[in-house]
Amino acid sequence: MTHSPQKPSLKKLRPPQRDAQATQEKILEAAEREFSRHGLKGARIGEIAQNSGVTTAMIYYYFQSKEGLYKAVLERPALEVQEIMSGLNLDQKPPIEALKAFIEAAIAYEAKHPHRGMLWFQEANQNGGEYFKLNKGSWSGIFAYINAILERGMADGSFRQLDPLVTIVQILGICIFYFNIHENWKHFMPDYDRLSPEAVNKHTQEAIDLILNGVKASKI
């Protein structure tokens, strides 16, 4: 669009028009959105190309195939979540504090990536989790991390006796479902922005109240 004088005076003084990494990032970003909307089969390479400002040929150049791009898209969040979780140091906090911190982090993450959850739903429903399984290692680590909090809480008497495997899924459901159904649910309350910071904060507080009251050992 702009006149960029091609002076080759100094190498890398300004970002070159040919930036392999930047191009891949742009593609991944657009692909994540497209795959979250339509899944592997339904996603359109042309749409990804258009939304990332590249040609379809570039996508094949970097990712070989639609499937290769899909795998790359699924890998990013797995690594990212792993990093966030280990930064929380949940194993060094009392169970109640740790669980509270986890809830806040989970909701904050979903609020930041409100469409990312659909990636996993699409994957589950279209492919039976066969591609999800490729990052099973990452997710298992996170899974075990939360499990440890619940086990620890039961052991020290701060939580009631519960089934941690089922409860983890239910806790995630509380935190995440809110965002997954947003586009339908918003029609019930057209004047209320469910994704505003205030609304998300409300959701967070209610989730903490519901979950902590739900898992705490009875005080009687």
- Pick from a second copy, DNA, none: which does 25 bind, CB < 5 to 8 A by kind? none
Taking the alpha carbons at both ends of the chain, their separation in whole angstroms is 71
CB within 8 A of 27, min separation 6: which ones? 48, 52, 54, 58, 59, 62, 63, 69
Place of tokens 């100094």: 10
Report the C-alpha gap between 185 and 173 in whole angstroms.
Answer: 16
Q: State which residue, 19 or 83, has the beta carbon closest to DNA.
A: 19
171 alpha carbon, distance to own chain's centre: 16
Q: State which residue, 48 or 118, has the beta carbon closest to a second copy.
A: 118
CB within 8 A of 163, min separation 6: which ones? none
Least distance (Å) between residue 118 CB and a second copy: 5
* Binders of DNA in range 56-85 (CB under 7 A): 56-58, 60-61, 64-67
- Pick from a second copy, DNA, none: which does 65 bind, CB < 5 to 8 A by kind? DNA
Instruction: Return the ∠ at Cα 29 (arms to 53 and 194), rounded to 5°.
Output: 115
CB 211 within 8 A of CB 103: yes
* Binders of a second copy in range 26-55 (CB under 8 A): 36-39, 41-42
Among 139, 145, 148, 154, binds a second copy (CB under 8 A): 139
Binding site for DNA (CB under 7 A): 17-20, 23, 43-46, 54-58, 60-61, 64-67
Binding site for a second copy (CB under 8 A): 36-39, 41-42, 115, 118, 120-121, 123-126, 128-129, 132-133, 136, 139-140, 143, 160, 162-163, 165-167, 169-170, 172-178, 180-189, 202-203, 206-207, 209-211, 213-216, 218-220
